[in-house]
Amino acid sequence: MKKIILISSIFILYAISVTFYAMHQFKEKEKETYIKLSNQLKNELNNEKRFSKDIGIINAISIAEDINIKKALLTNNRELAIETLQKIEKDFSDKTSIKHLKVHIHTKDTRAFVRSWKLGKFGDDLTGFRKAIVEVRMTKEPFFGFEVGRMGLTLRSIVPVLDNGNLLGTLEFIQNFDKILKRFKRKEYSYLLLIDKSLLNIAKYLKDAPLVGPYVLSSKKFDLLFLRESQIIDFTSLKENGYYVSDKYFYTYEEIKDTQNTIDGMHLLAMPIKNLTKEIDSSKKDIIKNIATQTLFLFLILGIIAILYLLISSSRSSK
C-alpha cells in the first residue's frame, strides 16, 4: 500500500511539474514568436528601404554630375537647369519605369532653385525645416531617408553638387514609397506611413488626413480596411512591447527619425493574425511532442528499473 501511495505521489508531482514546465515553455515560445514575426516584418521593410536607397542615391548622383546642372548652379541659370531636367526626365521615361521624375535642386545657401514638378515656385529659404539639406551642405555627404515636408513624410536622396570639391548646391531625388504596398500585399502584409501630429505645422497638405492614434496618415495609397483597424489599436501597448495583437492583425513598428535623432513618425507594419496563430500552434505542438517523448523515455527507464527490481527480489526469494 505504501509503495502504491509513494508511486502515486511521484506521478502526481511529475504531472504538476510537467504542467508548469509546459505553461512556462508556451509563454516563452509565444514571446519568441512575437519577436520572430516582428523581425520578419522589419526585415521586409528594410529590404524595401535598401532597394529604394540604391535607386535614389545612384540617380541623384548621376543627375548631380550632369555638367549642365553644375553650370546652371554656377551661373544662376534656372532656364538651363529646367531644360536639362526636362531632357533627363524624358530619358528616364523612355528607358526606365520612372515616368514622373521629381528632382529638387537647391542653391548652396539652401534656397529652392528648381522643383521639377513645380517650376514656378523657387527662391524660398529651406533652412528652417529641411534639416537633411543643411546636413548635406555641411558634410558634403549623401543623405537617404524620410524627411518631413509640406506633403508629409517623403523618401529623399540628397547629394551635394560639387565642382572640383567646391559646393555649388545640393540635389534631391524624391521617391514614392507607396510601391511597398504592392510587394507587401503579395505576402499578405500591411503597411502605413505615419507622421507625428505635432509636425502638421510643416506638413500642411496633411491637415485633413485621417488620424491614426497619436499620428496622422502620410501614405498616399493605403488599404482602407487596414487603416480603420489601425485607428483603434493601443499605441501605448505597441510601443511598450514592440508589438500589438488585435483580433485581425499582428502589428509591429519602426520609428522614423530625422538627422538630429528626433522622432518624426513611424512605419506601421502588420500581418494577418492567422500567421501568428499558426506559428504559436506549431510551437505548442513541438513542446507537447518533446514532453511526450521525455515522459515515454522516463516511463521506459522506470519500467526497466522495476523489472530489474522484481528479478532481483525473485532471485533472492528463491534462495
pTM of the model: 0.81
**Alpha carbon distance 73, 90 (integer Å):** 21
Q: Tell me if 64 is assigned to some domain.
A: yes
What cell does 93 get? 521615361
- Are 284 and 174 in contact by the 8 Å Cβ rule? The answer is no
24 belongs to a structural domain: no
Please report, for residues 1, 37, 189, the alpha-carbon distance to residue 273 in angstroms, rounded to integers and kept in the order given. 53, 11, 11
Q: What angle do CA 197, 122, 117 make, to 5 degrees?
A: 75
Q: Is the pLDDT of residue 306 over 80?
A: no
Pseudo-torsion of CA 209, 191, 31, 248, nearest 10°? 80
Residues 189 and 171 grouped into a single domain: no
Does 89 share its domain with 169? Answer: yes
What integer pLDDT is reported at residue 191 of this predicted model? 96
Instruction: Among 75-79, 96-100, 146-150, 314-318, name the one with the lowest average pLDDT.
Output: 314-318
Note whether 197 and 164 are same-domain residues: no
pLDDT in tens, 179-188: 888 889 899 9
Say whether both 182 and 249 belong to one domain: yes
Question: Pick from 117, 142, 177: which residue ends a domain?
Answer: 177
Mean pLDDT computed over 220-225: 92
Minimum mean pLDDT range among 11-15, 38-42, 302-306 = 11-15
Identify the residue with better confidence: 186 or 9. 186
Q: Is residue 232 part of a domain?
A: yes
Q: Are residues 211 and 265 both part of a single domain?
A: yes
**C-alpha distances out from residue 39 to 28, 43, 131, 254, Å:** 17, 6, 30, 10
Q: Where are the alpha helices (DSSP H) in 211-272?
A: 224-230, 235-241
Task: Check pLDDT > 80 for residue 290.
Answer: no
When pLDDT is cut at 50, 70 and 90, the band that residue 178 belongs to is confident
**Residue where a domain stops, chosen among 152, 177, 202:** 177
**Looking at the 3D structure of the chain, how many domains does it have?**
2
- Mean pLDDT over 89-118 rounds to 89
Of the chain, the percentage scoring pLDDT greater than 70 comes to 79
- 161 has a pLDDT exceeding 70: yes
In a domain, 156, yes or no: yes
For residue 67, is it within any domain? yes
Q: Pick from 199, 185, 251: which is nearest to 40 by CA? A: 251
Asked whether residue 12 is assigned to any structural domain, the reply reads: no
**pLDDT tens digits, 16-28:** 655 655 565 556 6
My answer on whether 182 and 250 are in the same domain is yes
Report whether 279 contacts 36 (CB < 8 A): yes
Distances (CA, A) of 242 to 37, 45, 253, 263, 264: 11, 15, 7, 16, 18
60-75: pLDDT as tens digits? 999 999 999 999 999 9
* Residue 124, CA atoms < 13 Å, CB-side half-sphere: 12
Is residue 168 domain-shared with residue 271, that is, in the same domain?
no
The pLDDT of residue 211: 96
CATH number for the domain harbouring residue 104: 3.30.450.20
- pLDDT number for residue 86: 94
Domain boundary residue, one of 177, 211, 242: 177
Residues 104 and 186 placed together within one structural domain of the fold? no
pLDDT exceeds 60 at position 212: yes
Rounded to whole angstroms, the Cα distance separating 229 from 69 reads 47
Residue 316 lies in a domain: no
User: For 210, which DSSP code?
Assistant: P
Least confident of 106-115, 207-216, 270-279, 280-289: 280-289
Cβ neighbours of 179 (radius 10 Å): 14
Q: d(Cα 169, Cα 74) in Å, to the nearest integer? A: 9
Query: Same domain for 78 and 172?
Result: yes
Q: Clarify whether residues 39 and 74 are in a common domain.
A: no
pLDDT computed for residue 222 by the predictor: 92
The confidence score (pLDDT) of residue 276 equals: 82
Residue-number span of the structural domain to which 117 is assigned: 56-177
Of 157, 155, 268, 269, the residue nearest 216 (C-alpha): 268
Q: Is residue 313 part of a domain?
A: no
Distance between terminal CA atoms of the chain?
Answer: 26
> Does residue 115 sit in the same domain as residue 219?
no
Instruction: Please compute the mean of the pLDDT values over residues 75-81 and round it to a whole number.
Output: 96
Average pLDDT over residues 32-36: 88
How wide is the angle at C-alpha 261 spanned by C-alphas 256 and 266, nearest 5°?
15
What are 223-269's pLDDT values in tens digits? 999 999 999 999 999 999 999 999 999 999 999 998 888 899 999 99
pLDDT given at position 48: 92
Please work out, in degrees rounded to the nearest 5, the angle formed at the alpha carbon of residue 106 by the alpha carbons of 103 and 112.
90
Please give the mean pLDDT across all residues of the chain: 86
38 and 84: one domain?
no
Q: In the prediction, which pLDDT does 41 show? A: 96
